[in-house]
């Protein structure tokens, strides 16, 4: 009997050790997350999507070894609201961060807090843009507000500091240093690596500035759009490259050059301090010496050529200047993403790290004559999304389902085996990542933009988007609807809302939109509440 008892005890002991070992191994195997987000990075400027403008070999690696989402979009195409949606897994009318102006409500639960609680090491480096510090991260160094390209200031756990150099390189250095020195190999990590680039005003590094200022880029077909066949919002938006892009702040023309030239058409009122307080004037002597010859040559060519140019030529010139600087900024982001991916490889972190590349929204690169974002129209509504997860996601695959930044939190929580709060409003992308499309039921998404009246003057609107149609309701200042046939008119040049051939579609989509408003708890009462908030 005693012998049997001992045997039982031994068996029990072995079993408990092995189950314990199992558990440690499972914890050890929880994946790391490297979340890479840039600011205002248009999918048109990632060669995995379209190589017309720029080659981004490093960002492309994530898709080559993982999945490229061709229909990823945001819920509200502007910086801080997008970030709030990503972190809370909720639409902006629910988390309260409807625009860039009000501070983020820090009582809202964000997914890094859940990771931290679940035993993950968590860190954030780069741009947050919330007006307050992140919650749920063990370490952080964030840019105040929009941050600066050159010699940027950072808010840290231990106070403010300024770092000399170029912002994209610095954010990467901070991220790699943390992985190298602070990472606990016993714990999985969640790293939020968040670039400021390529946000306006577009200042590339000195090397890229010089390199890209020599280049010429193809123009989009709709550069000279006249906004016919669409409602008021497209006509009054202040984001036209010719009419609204600033000479000094954006195109790098010195205020003195303009003054010397006298009458420069179009006459765009510009705050001179933009340039004087901008990145160029933050350079130290040796940095200035690198930028100056390029700024000089841009100014010389402007002085010589501008007075003799037609309106079309001026638009083309400004478009080229825009692309040279914007794409120069992205080229640095791509180089730095390469540095991070190399670091993962060199440190045996590839297999167990989910790498995500995205932007806080899309951007216009001259389509419809525009820069900036905000609209539910394609270029600003869509956002890049590339995900690599070795052994789980098949290499070199694409997914065309309508996924949103709303879905990220739930995806990461599920991937890491952490409970998902029931009030999050997205869908986990895990079935899509695993190629189980039959488990994906969503066929349309909801969008709501608020920041108006404000910079760029994009009127308030909400809408529903499926792969086939986009129905939009503009409801502030003017009340009207638009409908786009996405298959027949992918460039969205003509609203067919009043075309009798589409009356059935309008009816059907109005019902679907109303259902989405109920599902996501949006309402006329909330619309009014946010209008009143502006009028205060
Ligand atoms: C700044 C830019 C705008 C841009 C907003 C919001 N102007 O105000 O062009 O739309 O940010 O961008 S600038 O004079 O500062 O360049 S967001 O990405 O933060 O939402
Ligand atoms: Ca942005």
Query: Which string of b and e fits 5-23 if b means at least 16 CB within 10 Å?
Result: eeeeeeeeeeeeeeeeeee
Cα 76 to averaged position of ligand 1 atoms, centre (Å): 15
**Which ligand has the nearest atom to the CA of 372?**
1
Ligand 1 atom at shortest distance from the alpha carbon of 200: 16
Regions in the chain scoring below 50 on pLDDT: 1-2, 7-27
- Selection from 166, 334, 332, 316 nearest residue 251 by Cα: 316
Mean pLDDT of the chain: 94
Tokens for 391, please give them: 């052994």
In whole angstroms, how far apart are CA 481 and each of 93, 370, 507, 531? Answer: 21, 21, 12, 19
Ligand with smallest separation from the Cα of 145: 1
10 Å CB burial of residue 352 (0-12, 13-18, 19+) is middle
Q: Distance from first CA to last CA of the chain, Å, rounded?
A: 83
Q: Separation of 127 CA from ligand 2 center, angstroms?
A: 10
Nearest CA to ligand 1 atom 2: 200
Structure-block tokens of residue 433: 């990542």
Q: What is the pLDDT of residues 23-57, one digit of tens each?
A: 333 445 899 999 999 999 999 999 999 999 999 99
Q: Is any ligand 1 atom within 6 A of the Cβ of residue 372?
A: yes
**Tokens at 229, concatenated:** 């066949």
| Cα–Cα dist 47/54, whole Å | 6
Residue 483: strand pairing partners:
471
Separation in Å, CA 244 to CA 248, 250, 293, 306: 12, 10, 26, 17
Beta-strand relationship, 32-38 and 189-194 = parallel
Do 75 and 425 meet the contact criterion of CB atoms below 8 Å apart? no
Q: Does residue 79 have its Cβ closer than 6 Å to ligand 1?
A: yes
Q: CA-to-CA distance for 496 and 167, rounded, in angstroms?
A: 44
| Res 263: pLDDT | 86
| Closest by Cα among 125, 73, 78 to 101 | 78
Element housing 78 (H / E):
none
CA distances for 304 relative to 258, 261, 338, angstroms: 12, 10, 40
**Cα 225 to Cα 231: distance, rounded to the nearest angstrom:** 14
Q: Is residue 494 left, alpha or beta, with left meaning phi > 0 and alpha meaning psi from -120 to 50?
A: beta
3-class secondary structure per residue, 108-143: CCCHHHHHHHCCCEEEEEEECCCCCCCCCCCEEEEE
All domains of the chain in start order, with CATH: 206-324 (no CATH), 461-534 (3.30.1120)
Q: Name which residue sits closest to atom 20 of ligand 1, judged by CA.
A: 79
Collapsed DSSP state (helix, strand, coil) of residue 445: strand
User: For residues 203, 360, 235 and 273, what is the CA-based torsion angle, rounded to 10 degrees?
Assistant: -30
Q: Which long-range contacts (CB under 8 A, 24 or more apart) does 172-180 make?
A: 172/336, 172/339, 172/340, 174/125, 174/126, 174/141, 175/123, 175/125, 175/340, 176/339, 176/340, 176/343, 178/123, 178/125, 178/139, 179/343, 179/347, 179/349, 180/343
How many CB atoms neighbour CB 307 within 10 A?
Answer: 12
Q: Which two tokens stand for residue 364?
A: 């216009």
Which ligand has the nearest atom to the CA of 86? Answer: 2
Enter the pTM of the model. Answer: 0.94
The two three-digit tokens of residue 101, written as one number: 């102006």
Q: How far is Cα 105 from Cα 243, in angstroms, rounded to an integer? A: 36
| Cβ of residue 39 lying under 6 Å from some atom of ligand 1 | yes
Cβ(238) – ligand 1 distance below 6 Å? no
**With a 6 A CB cut-off, is 451 part of the ligand 1 pocket?**
no
Bridge partners (DSSP) listed for residue 466: 444
pLDDT digits (tens, 9 = 90+) for 331-361: 999 999 999 999 999 999 999 999 999 999 9
Return the bridge partners of 485, or none: 469
Dig out the tokens for 100 from the structure.
């860039």
The pLDDT value given to residue 63: 98
Report whether residue 250 contacts ligand 1, using a CB cutoff of 6 Å. no
Using the mean position of ligand 2's atoms as its centre, give its distance from the Cα of residue 144 in Å: 14
Distance 362 CA to ligand 1 centre (A): 13
279, 325 in Cβ contact below 8 A? no
For 43, 126, 176, 343, the CA distances from 180, given in Å and listed in that order, are 31, 17, 6, 9
Dihedral of the alpha carbons of 315, 318, 322, 324, in degrees to the nearest 10: 110
Q: What is the pLDDT of residue 319?
A: 98
The half-sphere exposure of 24 on its side-chain side, counting CA atoms within 13 A, is 7
Quick one: pLDDT at residue 279? Answer: 77
**DSSP, res 401:** S
């Amino acid at each position: 009997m005693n012998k049997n008892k001992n045997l039982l005890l031994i068996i029990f002991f072995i079993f408990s050790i092995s189950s314990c070992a199992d558990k440690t191994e499972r914890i050890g195997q929880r994946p790391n997350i490297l979340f890479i987000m840039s600011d205002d990075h248009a999918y048109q400027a990632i060669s995995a999507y379209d190589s017309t403008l720029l080659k981004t070999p490093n960002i492309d690696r994530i898709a080559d070894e993982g999945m490229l989402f061709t229909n990823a979009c945001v819920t509200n195409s502007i910086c801080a609201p997008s970030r709030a949606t990503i972190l809370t897994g909720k639409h902006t009318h629910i988390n309260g961060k409807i625009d860039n102006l009000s501070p983020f409500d820090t009582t809202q639960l964000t997914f890094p807090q859940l990771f931290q609680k679940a035993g993950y090491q968590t860190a954030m480096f780069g741009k947050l843009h919330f007006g307050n510090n992140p919650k749920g991260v063990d370490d952080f160094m964030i840019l105040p507000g929009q941050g600066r390209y050159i010699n940027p200031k950072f808010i840290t756990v231990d106070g403010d500091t300024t770092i000399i150099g170029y912002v994209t390189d610095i954010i990467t250095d901070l991220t790699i240093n943390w992985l190298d020195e602070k990472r606990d190999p016993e714990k999985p990590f969640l790293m939020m690596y968040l670039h400021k680039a390529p946000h306006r005003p577009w200042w590339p590094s000195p090397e890229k500035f010089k390199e890209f200022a020599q280049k010429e880029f193809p123009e989009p077909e709709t550069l000279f759009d006249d906004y016919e066949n669409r409602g008021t919002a497209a006509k009054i938006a202040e984001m036209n490259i010719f009419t609204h892009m600033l000479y000094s702040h954006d195109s790098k023309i010195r205020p003195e050059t303009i003054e010397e030239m006298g009458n420069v058409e179009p006459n765009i009122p510009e705050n001179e301090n933009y340039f004087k307080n901008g990145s160029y004037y933050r350079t130290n002597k040796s940095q200035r010496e690198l930028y100056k010859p390029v700024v000089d040559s841009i100014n010389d060519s402007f002085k010589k050529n501008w007075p003799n140019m037609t309106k079309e030529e001026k638009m083309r010139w400004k478009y080229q200047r825009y692309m040279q600087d914007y794409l120069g900024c992205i080229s640095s982001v791509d180089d730095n993403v390469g540095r991070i991916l190399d670091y993962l490889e060199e440190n045996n972190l590839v297999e167990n790290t989910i790498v995500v590349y995205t932007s806080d929204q899309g951007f216009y690169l001259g389509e419809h004559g525009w820069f900036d974002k905000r609209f539910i129209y394609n270029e600003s509504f869509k956002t890049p999304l590339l995900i690599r997860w070795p052994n789980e996601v098949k290499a070199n695959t694409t997914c065309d389902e309508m996924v949103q930044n709303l879905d990220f939190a739930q995806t990461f929580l599920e991937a890491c085996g952490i409970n998902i709060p029931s009030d999050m409003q997205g869908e986990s992308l895990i079935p899509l990542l695993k190629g189980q499309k039959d488990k994906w039921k969503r066929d349309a998404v909801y969008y709501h933009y608020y920041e108006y009246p404000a910079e760029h003057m994009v009127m308030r609107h909400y809408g529903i988007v499926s792969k086939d149609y986009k129905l939009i309701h503009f409801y502030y200042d003017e009340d009207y609807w638009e409908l786009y046939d996405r298959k027949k008119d992918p460039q969205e040049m003509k609203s067919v809302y009043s075309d009798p051939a589409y009356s059935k579609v309008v009816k059907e989509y109005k019902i679907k939109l109303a259902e989405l408003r109920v599902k996501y708890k949006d309402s006329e009462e909330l619309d009014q509440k946010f209008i009143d908030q502006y009028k205060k």
